[in-house]
Amino acid sequence: MPANLAEIPAPLLRWYDNQARQLPWRSQPTPYRVWVSEIMLQQTRVEAVKPYFERFMQALPSLPHLAQASEQQLLKLWEGLGYYSRARNLHRAAGTVLRQHGGELPADYQQLLALPGIGEYTAGAIASIAFGLCYPAIDGNVLRVAARLCANGQDIALPTTKAQLKQEVTAVLPHARVGDFNQALMELGATVCLPGTPRCPSCPLQTHCHGLAQGVAAQLPVKAPRKRRKLEQRTVFVLLYGGSIGLLRRPESGLLAGLWELPNLPQHLTPRQAHEQLAAWGGRQFSLTSAPAAKHIFTHIEWHMQGYLAQLEQPIPGLPGLCWFTPAQLGGEATLPAAFRVYRALALRSLLEPQQIRLQNPKGA
């Protein structure tokens, strides 16, 4: 059966009008609000984004506010959302829009695409939702829905498959309600045409779905096995001195570029090796205790961390770039990525309630 999505806009839009979730960014879909929400929603669940979006809009209610915010304020508002390059690109793009477009996002797909951090999907979402321009917004949800509707059995990760499905969707975009149509497809993918088992009996498109008709909907889309994530062992040091915690800046490129981090090394160190490492950094008088293990999953890498908490009697001279922050500064100007959340919490507890910490002294330390 050839793919033909021509009949889906009407039932889909009817369903969307009745069933769409109330989301903060759907009220007043100004270009700025649509843009910020779309960037936040990349790789992040709707429920997790909601409070961040509200807080962000209160602090930076317009694009000029964002452009003039400090990176520190922005990263603080983003703290915990992860993928910090999104926040940095948002900031850079806001600066560009202020300089080149008078502070208003351009109502032009190609100009949107030229801004930092805006790819085809986001440009399509802003163009269609905020400006009513006839462009598709093809994210993972939409690809899955389209693959099932068309019973497309090609590998969904292939550019040719994506191009084919994009073409099918683009061909049926309703000019009068293109933004709602794009959102409706995403909404259907997020709430009905779910990954794994689609809820076809509740779907407004069941009579138009080739995947359902052919009994293959749940097997679609086809995905080639993903490359396994690289596993990295790391040892994290929580260094405390005089009521402060020691942090380093990460390099300006690569993973967590330019963010603060707790000193850490590749490999798991034994307590004795950790002790020797601290001594090699110039630590003379300190107590060293083991801290809980933790895991953090990035897109392509998994960190398997073990930690040590060191109470220093003197600063250590042999760790270039080490800066000391009080608990108040850790909650303010120094933003630690979520990867260190376990050790950040430990540091704060140790600094604020030292008598309540019961850590086990490791053997050999």
Task: Give 208's contacts (C-beta < 8 A, 6+ positions apart).
Answer: 5, 7, 8, 11, 149
Q: Which residue has the tokens 């809820």?
A: 199
Query: Is 54 among the residues known to form the active site?
Result: no
CA dist., res. 30 & res. 37, Å (int): 11
Q: Which residues does residue 304 pair with via DSSP β-bridges, in sequence order?
A: 233, 295
Burial 109-141 (b: 16+ CB within 10 A, else e): bebbbebebbebbbbbbbbbbbbebbbbbbbeb
Alpha-helical runs (H) found in 154-297: 159-171, 178-191, 210-213, 271-280
User: In the bound complex, what is the minimum distance in angstroms from residue 190's beta carbon to ligand SF4?
Assistant: 12
Catalytic residue among 38, 79, 168, 187: 38
User: In the bound complex, what is the minimum distance in angstroms from residue 7's beta carbon to ligand SF4?
Assistant: 13
CA dist., res. 365 & res. 347, Å (int): 19
Q: Which residue has the tokens 């096995």?
A: 225
Burial 58-75 (b: 16+ CB within 10 A, else e): eebeebbebbebeeebbb
Closer residue to ligand SF4 (CB): 41 or 209:
209
Closer residue to ligand SF4 (CB): 142 or 209:
209
Binding residues for ligand SF4, rule: CB under 6 A, are 145, 148-149, 192-193, 198-200, 203, 205-206, 209, 211-212, 217
Closer residue to ligand SF4 (CB): 133 or 220:
220
Closer residue to ligand SF4 (CB): 140 or 271:
140
Which residue from 57, 65, 87, 186 is spatially nearest to 129, judged by alpha carbons? 186
Closer residue to ligand SF4 (CB): 206 or 326:
206
User: In the bound complex, what is the minimum distance in angstroms from residue 16's beta carbon to ligand SF4?
Assistant: 13
Active-site residue list:
38
